[in-house]
């Protein structure tokens, strides 16, 4: 019944997939590997929960290699790498020989141990498979050694743009900008036309390393093919060098903005000492319906309130994140400690610190600096002692450095900067 495969491609939600599944059950086709694979493929596409997808696999007798591959791809997209590895072992125990479609999924899930498959895929004759070859390159590019990534690249008789991108990304990750530039020159010499994806990756790379002229040239060359990633990369690049007006000009020209666009501007203003502008832009963000602030937004805004010493604004920001159910991580709570401390509300700083279920060195350092700035030497020493007890991290030395800058009274009482 080939029309069922065509019908499945038109499904748009899980309920529709379940209706197809029920129809297959009615006509007794749901146990066949082909139709079970079809269901799993669309479970992956529609992000079906594991509680629905796994029974499809489990209740299929004598699963073939294609069904295993579909289940592996499902787990891989879900980020369930342990399940991928467990299923791969089950596949081997059932004496089902993995094919070239299985290894890219498994190698990715093995992370920094993916290189262990390199010799095996060569032995099995899959060394020229472009998908396996690229995932091996990607593994070496991410985890090293980068020299082996280049060796695989150089041994290729034909290279796709994906291969070039993996090699360039690998060099960029390891900070080898010179090698990146040489590869880009090779692309130009061979008159290989870059696709938009690779141009976007190059623009982002040049922007992050401060080569604004090259990044701007790529940005201009993209023309109508610019996407939101390229706009955000340029905004961040201009903010990074303190060119706030150029960043704002780009931001104002954007036809569509996402939360990264707003965060780049707000954080850029805050980091360049323009706290009032950061808060004003945040207020503008809250009035638009196109995006909602997230934790990254709130950390920048709360920090800006701290730098301004604006407690009323800080409390307004705290009420906003509570009302909008924005959950904070450790860095968010650290920003609150900083804000309350800078605004003179040291008791609130201590309250936030005590409410934290997890703390890092920054949490302690920020609170200790706040105590010290407000003349609470005894409390600062107590927190320093607790940090030494609770954390063996070398970051503890930061507290010692801060305390060393304080003025100690002769009578052993409170001390100040």
Query: For residue range 269-286, what is the model confidence (pLDDT) as tens digits?
Result: 999 999 999 999 999 999
Residue 374 has a pLDDT of 67
CA neighbours within 13 Å on the CB side: how many for 379? 19
Between CA 22 and CA 29, with CA 28 as vertex, the angle to 5 degrees is 85
Tokens (6 digits) for 369: 């600096």
Residue 385 has a pLDDT of 63
Closest by alpha carbon to 164, among 177, 146, 179, 183? 183
Cα(300)–Cα(340) distance, integer angstroms: 14
Residue 118 has a pLDDT of 93
Q: How many residues does the chain have?
A: 417
Between CA 344 and CA 282, with CA 304 as vertex, the angle to 5 degrees is 130
Residue 383 has a pLDDT of 63
Hey, where are the domains in the chain?
A: 1-98
Integer angstrom CA distances of residue 153 from 89, 106, 115, 142, 187: 30, 21, 15, 14, 14
Q: Give the helix ranges, DSSP H, for 190-309.
A: 196-208, 212-222, 228-240, 244-253, 259-271, 275-287, 295-308
Residue 146 has a pLDDT of 95
Residue 415 has a pLDDT of 42
Residue 185 has a pLDDT of 80
Residue 36 has a pLDDT of 93
Residue 383 near residue 364 (C-beta atoms within 8 A)? yes
- B/e letters for 238-257, b = 16+ CB within 10 Å, e = fewer, are bbbeeebebbbebbeeeeeb
Query: 0.85 cut: is pTM over it?
Result: no
Q: Give pLDDT < 50 ranges for the chain.
A: 392-417
Helix axes 65-78, 102-109, angle to 10 degrees: 30
Residue 189 near residue 181 (C-beta atoms within 8 A)? no
Closest by alpha carbon to 164, among 182, 145, 144, 143? 182
Cα(289)–Cα(266) distance, integer angstroms: 17
Residue 6 has a pLDDT of 73
Cα(146)–Cα(172) distance, integer angstroms: 10
């Amino acid at each position: 019944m080939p029309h069922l495969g065509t019908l499945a491609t038109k499904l748009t939600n899980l309920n529709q997939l379940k209706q197809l599944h029920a129809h297959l059950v009615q006509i007794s086709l749901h146990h066949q590997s082909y139709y079970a694979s079809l269901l799993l493929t669309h479970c992956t596409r529609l992000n079906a929960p594991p509680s629905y997808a796994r029974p499809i696999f489990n209740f299929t007798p004598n699963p073939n290699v294609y069904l295993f591959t579909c289940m592996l791809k499902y787990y891989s997209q879900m980020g369930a790498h342990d399940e991928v590895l467990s299923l791969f072992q089950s596949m081997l125990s059932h004496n089902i020989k993995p094919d070239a479609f299985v290894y890219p999924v498994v190698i990715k899930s093995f992370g920094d141990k993916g290189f262990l498959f390199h010799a095996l895929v060569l032995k099995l004759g899959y060394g020229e498979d472009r998908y396996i070859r690229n995932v091996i390159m990607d593994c070496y590019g991410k985890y090293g050694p980068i020299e082996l990534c280049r060796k695989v690249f150089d041994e290729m008789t034909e290279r796709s743009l994906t291969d070039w991108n993996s090699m360039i990304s690998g060099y960029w990750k390891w900070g080898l900008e010179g090698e990146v530039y040489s590869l880009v020159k090779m692309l130009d010499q061979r008159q290989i036309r870059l696709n938009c994806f690779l141009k976007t990756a190059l623009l982002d790379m040049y922007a992050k390393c401060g080569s604004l002229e090259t990044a701007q040239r790529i940005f201009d060359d993209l023309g109508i093919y610019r996407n939101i990633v390229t706009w955000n990369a340029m905004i961040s690049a201009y903010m990074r060098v303190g060119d706030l007006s150029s960043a704002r000009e780009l931001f104002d020209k954007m036809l569509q903005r996402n939360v990264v666009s707003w965060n780049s501007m707000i954080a850029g203003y805050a980091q360049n000492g323009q706290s009032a502008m950061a808060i004003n832009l945040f207020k503008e963000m809250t009035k638009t319906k196109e995006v909602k602030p997230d934790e990254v937004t709130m950390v920048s805004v709360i920090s800006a309130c701290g730098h301004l010493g604006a407690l009323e604004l800080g409390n307004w920001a705290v009420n906003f994140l509570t009302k909008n159910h924005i959950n904070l991580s450790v860095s968010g709570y650290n920003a609150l400690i900083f804000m309350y401390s800078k605004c003179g509300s040291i008791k609130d700083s201590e309250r936030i610190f005590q409410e934290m279920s997890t703390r890092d060195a920054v949490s302690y350092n920020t609170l200790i600096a706040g105590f010290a700035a407000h003349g609470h030497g005894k409390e600062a020493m107590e927190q320093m002692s607790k940090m030494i007890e609770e954390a063996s991290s070398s970051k503890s030395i930061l507290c010692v450095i801060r305390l060393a800058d304080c003025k100690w009274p002769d009578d052993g009482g409170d001390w100040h900067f």
